[in-house]
Every structure is written in structure tokens, then in C-alpha cells.
């Protein structure tokens, strides 16, 4: 009878050790997340990513675009001006290449 109980107890040891290790890891992660949340700035960092109104225009069927649409590198997006010079301006850009339009 004692041997049977000893075998059962030894059989439970790996699972009990695993459970203890998981709880310890969870407690450590919870503590780490609290510390990060406490040190994280509460105020959002202001980001002025809007393009200047003079550089933004509406193209029928496409939507709002910024930058020179005739440039090869234009992103054709309302958020990103160009693949080479995303912050702009397009006027006088040394990477400007006229796009060839197919018929």
C-alpha cells in the first residue's frame, strides 16, 4: 500500500513542479507589465503627419492625393507623398522622374 502511494506521489511531482513554475513565471510577467505600464508616458506624443493643404488635392475616382502625380516615385496616397522623399516637397526634388504613360 505504501509503495502504491509513493509511486502515485512521485508521478504527480513533475506536474506539480510544472504548475509551480508556470505560476511563478506568470507572477513575474504580471509584475513586469505593471512596471512597464507605470513608467509609460500617459500623454500621447503629438504627431503632425498631415500634409500641407496646398499640396493635397482630390482626384476623381481615386480620392485625396498629395505630391506630384506625374512623378514616377509618387505613392498615389493621401498619407505618403513619395517613396524616395516622403516628407516632401516635390518642387525641386532631385529624384523627380517623369512617368511614361502608356496609350
Give the angle subtended at the CA of 86 by the CAs of 85 and 88, to the nearest 5°. Answer: 70
Contact 99/70 with Cβ under 8 angstroms?
yes
CA distance 73 to 83: 6
For the entire predicted model, the pTM comes to: 0.41
Q: Is 35 in the same domain as 19? A: yes
Grid cell at residue 13: 511531482
Q: Is 56 in the same domain as 74? A: yes
Tally the domains of the chain: 2
pLDDT of residue 76: 82
pLDDT of residue 12: 92
Q: Is 97 in the same domain as 58? A: yes
Contact 77/83 with Cβ under 8 angstroms?
no
pLDDT of residue 53: 54
Q: Is 56 in the same domain as 18? A: no
pLDDT of residue 17: 96
Q: What is the pLDDT of residues 24-34, one digit of tens each?
A: 999 999 999 99
Of 102, 103, 98, nearest to 72 by C-alpha is 98
What range defines the domain where residue 26 resides? 1-42
State which residues of the chain have pLDDT below 50. Answer: none
Amino acid at each position: 500500500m505504501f509503495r502504491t502511494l509513493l509511486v502515485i506521489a512521485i508521478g504527480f511531482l513533475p506536474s506539480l513542479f510544472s504548475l509551480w513554475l508556470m505560476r511563478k513565471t506568470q507572477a513575474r510577467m504580471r509584475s513586469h507589465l505593471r512596471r512597464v505600464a507605470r513608467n509609460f508616458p500617459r500623454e500621447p506624443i503629438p504627431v503632425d503627419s498631415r500634409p500641407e493643404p496646398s499640396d493635397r488635392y482630390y482626384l476623381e475616382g481615386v480620392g485625396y492625393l498629395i505630391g506630384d502625380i506625374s512623378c514616377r516615385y509618387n505613392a498615389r496616397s493621401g498619407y505618403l507623398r513619395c517613396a524616395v522623399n516622403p516628407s516632401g516637397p516635390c518642387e525641386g526634388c532631385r529624384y523627380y522622374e517623369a512617368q511614361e504613360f502608356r496609350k
